[in-house]
Amino acid sequence: MKPLGSVAQACPNCGVSLSKMPARKTKCKDCGLFMFVRTRPQDRAQVLLTEADAHALEAQWHQYEDDKPQIGPRSEATLARVRSALQQQFGKLPSEADVLWRVFNEELLAHVSSQSWALYTHVLYEMAELQLAQGREVAALDLYIQAVLLALNGPRNIDRELLSAGYTRFSPPGFIPDRYIQRMVKAKRALGLSAKQLEAKFLNTASRTSSELVLPLSAENAWNSLAERIAHDA
């Protein structure tokens, strides 16, 4: 996103110098046009804008909020424990991304152990969000595909007692949030993949995942049920 507005103490319409920075929407005494005061998302700087740029900045804020990774908060106790363990392992303070990644992997193992497959699916999505935010589109796309596939298979949170009683881990058709599809398509665009290349990538990843987790839906059936939604977002 291109940074909009100006931090200069001057009218953004005509460029005349101002005696002081306005604190709110103000009409320029020289050109008679309004100047708008806003904070922009890129650097949180307070800037002066023309009316047109003020509307454009509002759109940028919507885009900024939409682009932010959707990752739920974890307890500070968990983060501190993992941060300390990684610091001992690395010999230096780990990045918060490294801390989150270790937390995610611990949660995946716990959800497999407890047969919490809906929770497992959502953690995969959060892992994809983190990877995409770090510019790792290839890894992100693989994780988005896994999350979409599992969601389509109707993941359930059951315990081992219910599993032994005959309850299934997956019960298709499942519900796939629109954002799962949208983010998968966003990763595809970032990689410059064609529709056919995305299909091939989906089938490859989905086949592997379906085999590993013994999912009810085949990769081909999963793709066929998704193709229309993916084409709409693409």
∠ CA 58-61-62, nearest 5°, is: 90
Collapsed DSSP state (helix, strand, coil) of residue 15: coil
Give the pLDDT confidence score for residue 234 in this predicted structure.
60
Crossing angle (nearest 10°) for helices 178-190 and 195-213: 120
Token pair belonging to 219: 């990769």
pLDDT tens readout for residues 118-137: 999 999 999 999 999 999 99
- Do residue 110 and residue 174 come from a single domain? yes
| Range picked from 65-69, 208-212, 229-233 for highest mean pLDDT | 208-212
Taking a C-beta distance cutoff of 8 angstroms, is the pair 21, 32 a contact? no
- Do residue 43 and residue 110 come from a single domain? no
Average pLDDT, the chain: 93
Peptide bond into 173 cis (omega under 30): yes
Report field, pTM of the whole predicted structure over 0.85: no
pLDDT of residue 233 exceeding 70, the answer is no
- Do residue 26 and residue 114 come from a single domain? no
Given its phi and psi angles, is residue 50 left (phi above 0), alpha (psi -120 to 50 degrees) or beta? beta
Give the pLDDT confidence score for residue 63 in this predicted structure.
80
**Cβ-Cβ contacts under 8 Å for 154 (sequence gap 6 or more):** 170, 171, 172, 173, 174, 175, 216
- Do residue 114 and residue 227 come from a single domain? yes
pLDDT tens readout for residues 6-24: 999 999 999 999 999 999 9
Look at residue 75 and tell me if it is in a domain: no
